Amino acid sequence: MHYESGVGHIGGNLSALDALLHLHHRAMGTEDLFILSKGHAAGALYVTLWSRGLLSEEDLGEFHGEGTRMSGHPPPRGLAGIPVATGSLGHGLSVAAGMALGRRIQGQKGHVWCLMSDGEWQEGSCWEALIFARHRGLENFTVLVDLNGLQGFGSTAEVASMEDLAGRIRGFGLEVLEIDGHDPEALDRAVRPEAEVILLKTVKGNGVSFMENRMEWHYLALDEEHYARAREEVESA
């Protein structure tokens, strides 16, 4: 998808893909909602929805095309499994918390899940959303954070350090689990509706050696040589 469309953001897609697949196939119920706050990982979400039979091969082939539903960030309408547009970073948590409260008020079943990037926690709106969620005691709401340590202009530590993110969130009175975001067994143990916040320790560009932990793959598109190398590594793993 990324090679044929000539667009980047593949590094953050690969850090989130394991968690997205696990969440949608192993944890979510039929009445649950999912919000992808890190909207630039839309490619990973589209592949996950395809794996559930909600998108076709033809749909994936339209990724990032003109007039397509398969936009670079999740669209506001037209795709099953995507209830709201996201990608303006720092807002997904607030949207998800509001949806969780709305469901509780209306007596609706189902859980609300939200996957965020670690860079988003440099934005004040995320902390306001935590205050809201904690104050309302939202038990139908779980937050996952893709903690790959890199963002658009460098490492999260270099841009605006949020070291000990777990400790800061625990300060709001929330339980925080810290796991390997690429370990299926760890995901199976942790990603459950009773969890409040799950920090996923991940690798940007996971599974492709020349992309792993490299900030530039936040942006770079794959040329023919890199695409061939990436495919060879993934298929031989």
pLDDT in tens, the chain (237 residues): 999 999 999 999 999 999 999 999 999 999 999 999 999 999 999 999 999 999 999 999 999 988 888 999 999 888 989 999 998 888 999 999 999 999 999 999 999 999 999 999 999 999 999 999 999 999 999 999 999 988 888 888 888 877 899 999 999 999 999 999 999 999 999 999 999 999 999 999 999 999 999 989 888 999 999 999 999 999 998
**pLDDT tens, residue by residue, 56-77:** 999 999 999 888 889 999 998 8
Distance CA 37, CA 150 (A): 16
> How much is the pTM?
0.95
- How far apart CA 211 and CA 204 sit, in angstroms, is 7
Within 8 A by CB and 6+ apart from 94, the residues are: 125, 126, 128, 129, 132
Q: How many residues does the chain have?
A: 237
List the domain range (segments joined by +) for residue 136: 2-236
Distance CA 222, CA 236 (A): 19
**How far, in whole angstroms, is CA 98 from its chain's centroid?**
18
Q: Give me the number of domains the chain comprises.
A: 1
CATH of the domain at 224: 3.40.50.970
